[in-house]
Structures are given as structure tokens and as C-alpha cells.
Amino acid sequence: MKILVFLNFFTIYSTILGQEFSYNGLLGPAYWGNKYQTCVGKHQSPINIVEHYVEKVTLPPLWFSGFNIPRKAMLTNNGHTVLLKTIGTDVPLITGGPLRDDVYAFEQLHFHWGENDKEGSEDRINNRSFAMELHAVFYKLSYGSYKAATNFPDGLTVLAYFVTVAETFDPTYSPLVETLPLIEDIGSEAVLRDNLILESILKTNQPSMQNYFTYNGSLTTPPCSEVVTWIDFKKPHILSHEQIEAFRRIRSAEGERVTHNFRPVQPLADRIVFENIPETSHDYSHGIPNHRNHHHPQQFAGQLANRASLPIIVIISLATVLRR
């Protein structure tokens, strides 16, 4: 069966010439602040989450809508990571939890990994690094686009999934892993052979999605904008060594294998990390509810208040979005 492959040589050429950051040498994380002042900001990501010091809270449930719909999807090697975007105008939505009543729309997902299976995640738990970390990136729908949302302190949310290693492979990752050999060169893109159901990768239909840590932070790559609500799920995904090793074969702008692409942890400073303790178990995988009757604990609301004061946007139903 044929998989469509696209090589954008203009993109490749401009990317190589205009490479602005790396994970090694003079363009590595220690030097990002020379060009991007925000990268030396006070509320940077990733961080080390120490469970002994987190604040336990019970937040409204996270709700997920549209993740169970098959969609065409494309993988891209941008020289730093493997990035997946869906093709089409209808996108999955999330709300609830630390996002309050605001609705966020899926933009892309990507991965971070290390040279071996002992490190690779960006956030750490009790100073433990995982073999890989998946980031699903969403932007606040009321801002209209990802680019516009990056100008607001509550513009983005990132769902973070830790990945551990086992002898058995996860078949839900097979469509991605099988496509990786087609995007080893920087700038290359490949459409997955079959439509992808994001729910199969992001596990949005599982009760464990209500067990997470959350904090305010930044993008973990330049420009390191401090506009992200991080949601780190406690239950890791499990992949085989061979599946993770396939990611290490993509090439950077220098033509070398991207063997590692994680930023070192940053100081927590004055931030509080919250651990959500869910009230009950329900199916939150379909539909966007109105949950205005839920209240956030006072200390959590205080952390949110550190961001810009913005009006609460009325919940936009999935049906309304799809009619656009």
C-alpha cells in the first residue's frame, strides 16, 4: 500500500540556513537566552515535579470532544522533532480542569526523546526522567489561531504524556512508527496510510486522564513564551525500545541523527504545582459540557489570577464550531 510522501525542498533549504536553535553546542539550550530573552524568564518549562511539595486539589473534570473521529494526518520532520498535524477544519476540543470554562482546539502533537531509554522526557517526576514525552498542543479557541494565542498568557495548553519502555510494543503507535522512515530527512512530510483516531494515541477515553499534575509554564523551545497551562498525566504510555529507537533516526539541519531533543529542567521559582484528585469516574470523552457550577480551590484560583485578567468566554459547542 502506498503512502504519500512530500519533500519541500524550499523549506529544507530555508530551515538549514535559518536554523535558530539546537540541542547541542553554541545553539544549545544554555545559549537560547542570547537571542530569545523569554528563555531566561521566571516561569519556564520544563520543571522537576516533586510530589512531596505539590498542592492537592479537586478540579472540574477535563472534557474531550471529537477525539474519536478518524482524520487524515501528516507527520513532519522539522529538524528538531517529529510533528503530527491533522488535515481538515474540524479539530478536537478540550475544556475543564485547570482550563476552567475556556475551550481549547488541537493544533499539533510532537515528541521529545533522549539518546537512550533512561532519559528523554522534559518534565521530571521526583527527578525521574522518562524515555520519551509526547506533547499535544492546543490553543484557546476564542483567540482564533495558534499564532494569535501565543500573545496571551492563557493562550495555550499542552497535554504531556510520559513514555516508559517495555518489551512489548504498543500497536496504537504503529501507524506513526511505520511512517518514520519516510521522514528521516529534514523538511520531509508523509501522510499516514490510514486515517488516525487521536483518541487511540492520546487515550482521552480512559479514567486515568483525570489524574494529572498542572502548572503554569512556557514553551520548551524558543521563543519559550510563558503562555502554557501544562497538564502532565501521571499514567505513562508504554512503548518498546524499537518503537522509540525509530524516532532517533530522523535527521537535523546538520544532517545528523536527532538522538536527543529535550530541554533541561528550569527553576520552579514562585510557582505551585497542583495534583488533581478527581471526585468520581465518568466518561468525559465525548461532548463539551457547561460546568460553571464547579469551583476551583482558592489557592488554585490565585495562581490563575497571576495571568492576565480576561473575560470568561461562553462555551462554544462542538456543533457551533463545525458549522463554521
What distance in Å separates the CA atoms of residue 212 and residue 203, rounded to the nearest whole number? Answer: 13
Q: For the chain, how far is it from start to end, CA to CA, in angstroms?
A: 35
Q: What is the dihedral of CA 17, 23, 25, 27, to 10 degrees?
A: 50
Strand partners, 109: 84, 136
Query: Which residue has 505539590 as its cell numbers?
Result: 54
Omega before residue 223 within 30° of 0, cis: yes
Burial class (CB in 10 A: 0-12, 13-18, 19+), 269: exposed
**Dihedral of CA 116/121/125/126: which sign?**
positive
Decide: 318 and 66 in contact? Cβ < 8 Å.
yes
Question: CA torsion, points 60, 62, 65, 70, in degrees to nearest 10?
Answer: -170
| CA 27 to chain CA mean position, Å | 23
Neighbours of 191 (CB within 10 A): 16
Q: If we measure between CA atoms, which residue out of 283, 312, 265 comes closest to residue 210?
A: 283
Residue 80 falls in the annotated catalytic set: yes
- Rounded to whole angstroms, the maximal C-alpha distance in the chain is 56
3-class state of residue 148 by DSSP: helix
Using CB atoms within 10 Å of the CB of residue 121, give its burial: 0 to 12 exposed, 13 to 18 middle, 19+ buried: buried
Catalytic residue (one of 80, 112, 135, 296): 80
Q: Which residues are catalytic?
A: 80
